Amino acid sequence: MAKKVETVSLIDTFAEFKELKNIDVKTLVSVLEESFRSVIAKMFGTDENYDVIVNPDKGDCEIWRNRKVVADEDFEDPNLQISLTEARKIDSSYEAGEEVTDEVIFSKFGRRAILNLRQTLASKVLELEKDSLYNKYIDKVGKIVSAEVYQIWKKEILLLDDEQNELLLPKTEQIPGDFYRKGETVRAVIDRVENENNNPKIILSRISPVFLQRLFEIEVPEINDGLITIKKIARIPGERAKIAVESYDERVDPVGACVGVKGSRIYGIVRELRNENIDVINYTTNISLFIQRSLSPATVSSIRLHEEESKAEVYLKPDQVSLAIGKGGLNIKLACMLTGYTIDVFRELEENQSEDIYLDEFKDEIDGWVIDAIKGIGIETAKDVLNAPREMLIEKTDLEEETVDDVIRVLKAEFENE
């Protein structure tokens, strides 16, 4: 009676794996056969002389052992051989050299064998699940997914998708200002799938430029239809972003289509990104024009390109400089990211201004290392320093604010004396 309980328990285990692990019948049969063979091989040293037949409809399996009939005096291995005397108890017609096939009742191997089988089966199913999870998500990298917040930790959030698969949203991939509670739904892009030691981790991101691109593809039908293409994206997550778009149909205004009537299309994206300001501009292969557009809302007076160094000197009227730089330097930083050029901003010289003076002429009043630091960012003359924004000088020269202010004071005094 005890053995029957073990057998039923074993069948229940199979049903449990099939139901809970969502494994298709063909794969289940293969895994079960592998598991049985693995246990048999451990018990007898080999499984080559066994036939394992899984019956998924009945929820059970049959095991048949094949043994060679040998003369009684040659009998050595009870797993691979059967003595002639024992064989003839089964059928009196057996002769030495023939093969005997008999059914093996697995439950008779004992509780330990059944426990071993369960552990082997669980291990193989877990491995199968991991492979399935990896294969499912490696093909979805770069796509948006919605998942429910399950657990919130200091460095990351654990989310569950519709199939209860675990996804991770690290703190470093969250937009500043992101705040979630358990049970809330989060939208993010699948950034990467790590698979160290066959332990897949699906990493999501909300700060990736790809997330912004996918949101535009959802909100703007013309992008999804191929009428508009997103050419470049630059983001400082939670603060500001610039996106360059191009239309393949002259009748379609790419910027207008992306923004929507009264901002209707872009509003949903801005809200999803925690009120991140988004500038949409027309893309062009004319790098000079592209740089000018990227500095919007500032109006550029003139521009000097150094294409071999990917640098640009941009000249603007004094009232446009602060617009070009933007709050905290965000606008010019994004323009550099978008165009791939290092952009230096200068105030436009007035026609009646006096002649310029090289910085080396001020070595009596300004330390040589300070002059070298300024020249190191490509500024050689006094008026270039005065025309350059103070914030840019501090950031690029890595000089103290007081030092930069002293330099500006000395240079201003020179021209005021004139």
The overall longest dimension of the chain from CA atoms, in Å, is 128
Residues in the chain: 418
46: domain range?
2-135
d(CA 126, CA 83): 42
25: nearest Cα among 51, 63, 53, 55: 55
Same domain, 412 and 300: no
CB 344 within 8 A of CB 294: no
d(CA 377, CA 342): 11
Residues 6+ apart with CB under 8 A from 154: 171
Same domain, 386 and 407: yes
Same domain, 154 and 48: no
Query: pLDDT by residue (tens digit) across 197-212?
Result: 888 999 999 999 999 9
**Could you give the number of structural domains in the chain?**
4
Same domain, 186 and 294: no
Mean pLDDT of 373-380: 85
At residue 337 the predicted structure's pLDDT band, cuts being 50, 70 and 90, is very high
Is the residue at 227 inside a domain? no
Is the residue at 224 inside a domain? no
d(CA 343, CA 309): 11
CB 255 within 8 A of CB 246: no
Question: What is the SS3 assignment for 141?
Answer: coil
Is the residue at 305 inside a domain? yes
Is the residue at 276 inside a domain? no
pTM attached to this predicted model: 0.67
Query: pLDDT by residue (tens digit) across 34-66?
Result: 888 888 888 888 889 988 888 777 667 788 989
Same domain, 61 and 120: yes
Residue 387, pLDDT > 90, answer no
Is the residue at 306 inside a domain? yes
Is the residue at 233 inside a domain? no
d(CA 288, CA 267): 30
- CA dihedral (368, 374, 376, 381) positive or negative: negative
Tell how far CA 22 is from the center of its chain: 26
Same domain, 313 and 371: no
Q: Is the peptide bond before 254 cis (omega within 30 degrees of 0)?
A: no
Same domain, 130 and 151: no
Query: pLDDT by residue (tens digit) across 133-157?
Result: 898 899 999 999 999 999 999 999 9
Same domain, 28 and 104: yes
